[in-house]
Structure 1
Amino acid sequence: MPYIRAALLIFALGGFYLIGVPLQRFARRRGWALSREIPPFFARTICALLGLRVRFEGNELGPKPRMIVANHVSWSDILALASRETPCFVAKSEVSGWPLLGAFARVQDTIFVRRDSRTEVPRVNAAMAEKMVAGEDVLLFGEGTSTDGAGVLSFKPSHFAAARDVFRLFPEISAVTVQPAAITYTHARGEPLDETGRRALAWFGDADLAPHIWLLLKNAPVDCVIAFGAPLTFAPESDRKAVALETETRVRALAETQIAKLQA
């Protein structure tokens, strides 16, 4: 079965690359509503072929302009989140060079950032602000890197300043929503994942992409829960470090709740 799904996955990726990418580029240029339908359709299709089952739960999203801030476990987090309603992702610059997936990221106008360059921060924050004001959700992985899924790392506050750029560039806006979201991989082949199992399915460090895709295929179905917490309001007088810390605390609590459910 994994071999069949792998063949179908390759076929689907090729089809999307040859047809979906040019169509999405044209639809975005023309401002067609279709441009908002293609990305989630792509994400849901690839999730289905991978055997990745995504469930959303928790609070309703706060009002726009809105920044969704989540923990980061794997490259597949992007597909899981995009299967609902594709936000504008903030991603490391290496993603733009990934085979096939990089093309989808570029055509969706992903904001790429060089993680080792602090001079990138103002440019990225301004781009995030413009996207939010244009009505797009911006997805920020608060840890700045993917982890082994065992816990939530400290959130980096630098890109939370994008909310300040919203107020600076668009003075008529008085608040930005910061929406906490916790991503947890809970089951594989119908069995609850323990810490070892979650670590095995995580994609972090120097792990190669192709072997991890094969790992997901072999362990399918894999269940992923994305839990939204209560939204925070970032006001002009808010402190970005305090908001980052509170968001981190809420995401960690959401993730720990999901893990506690598995252990109950």
Structure 2
Amino acid sequence: MTLAFAKLRLVLHLLHGMWIVAVRFPRMSDATKLEVNRAWSIKMLRLAGMRLVVHHDERRLDHGALVVGNHVSWLDIYVINAWRPTPFVSKAEVRKWPVVGWLAHQLGTIFIHREKRRDAHRTMHEIVERVAGGGLVCLFPEGTTSDGVSLLPFHANLFQAAVSAQCPVQPVCLMYEGRDGRQSTTPAYIDDVSLGQSLDAVLRGGPFTAHLYVGAAIEPMSDRRALSAKARDAVGAGLVALQEGLKVSIAPAPAPVHPLQSDSGDELPPSPAVPGDL
């Protein structure tokens, strides 16, 4: 398959997502929206040459929680949504991205203007409202992407939302495995790499396996800095566990298969126990 054809398939899938949200979503129940969103995200990963493996899914919180994790790539959003659709906190610039920005807005993304100090307070209050009402919100406390080999410092400000709402925090960790069975930094969207260049690198460098490690829930705390530190420790422990796992299972072991996919890569009916995506 040529690079141009692979890109065309992704663009068509994004446009199909816009059509679903604009035409079908108004007539869907919330549960059906989740399932459709999840199935769409699984296919998005597949078109990008990604398999998904979820570790410790039994720890998943489905209501009234703040989800926090490390941030490696623009693919992270689709990985998390393929696992369990969750609205995100994102930089305001994403709202202006063609197609992707519109989809993010329609799916409940909370956009934050980082350069405006007051906007952090607005964002925090919006997160509180959502999780206090039983919803979920995901944020990346590093504030930017990294190569995924180690963690950057966590910013504690938005953890105030979990303190104010007295809701649990669900730590998750993402890591990408290359075709050689080792951790890959190719999907990392960092430095001066453009979105187009990053997409080219992913499509040329695959196939990949996206690993998502679900950490144990952190109970409500009264200090946002202590909560941020505990969450970072939990995400860091997940990263170490994933990295150590690859050292044990380096190629030629077969690539892991997501429980929602057959060995041929075909999608199986979504499990009713896991919420869905666009």
TM-score (ref. length: structure 2): 0.82
Correspondence for 2:15 = 14
Q: Report the count of equivalent residues.
A: 246
| Cα RMSD (Å) | 1.9
Matched, 1:193 2:182: yes
Aligned residue identity for 2:236: R
Correspondence for 2:236 = 252
Matches of residues 180-219 of structure 1 in structure 2 within 5 Å?
180-187=171-178, 190-194=179-183, 197-198=184-185, 200-219=186-205
Identify the structure with the greater helix proportion.
1
- CA pair 179-111 structure 1, distance change in 2 beyond 3 A: same
Shift of 1:132: 1.2
- CA pair 70-24 structure 1, distance change in 2 beyond 3 A: farther
Correspondence for 1:229 = 215
Alpha carbons 1:21, 1:103 under 8 Å: kept: no
Matched, 1:240 2:224: yes
Q: Which moved more, 1:89-98 or 1:212-221?
A: 212-221
Shift of 1:104: 0.8
**Structure-2 separation of matches of 1:26 and 1:192:** 43
Shift of 1:9: 1.5
Shift of 1:40: 1.2
Aligned residue identity for 1:21: V
SS state at 1:104 partner: helix
Where do 5+ consecutive residues of structure 1 fail to align?
Answer: 167-174
RCO (CA 8 Å, sep 6+): is it higher in 1 or 2?
A: 2
Matches of residues 90-129 of structure 1 in structure 2 within 5 Å?
90-129=89-128
**Structure-2 separation of matches of 1:76 and 1:63:** 21
Report sequence identity in percent: 26
User: Of 54, 57, 68, which residue of structure 1 is paired with 2:55?
Assistant: 57
**Structure-2 separation of matches of 1:149 and 1:33:** 32
Where do 5+ consecutive residues of structure 2 fail to align?
Answer: 249-278
Identify the structure with the greater strand proportion.
1
SS state at 1:232 partner: coil
**Structure-2 separation of matches of 1:165 and 1:24:** 36
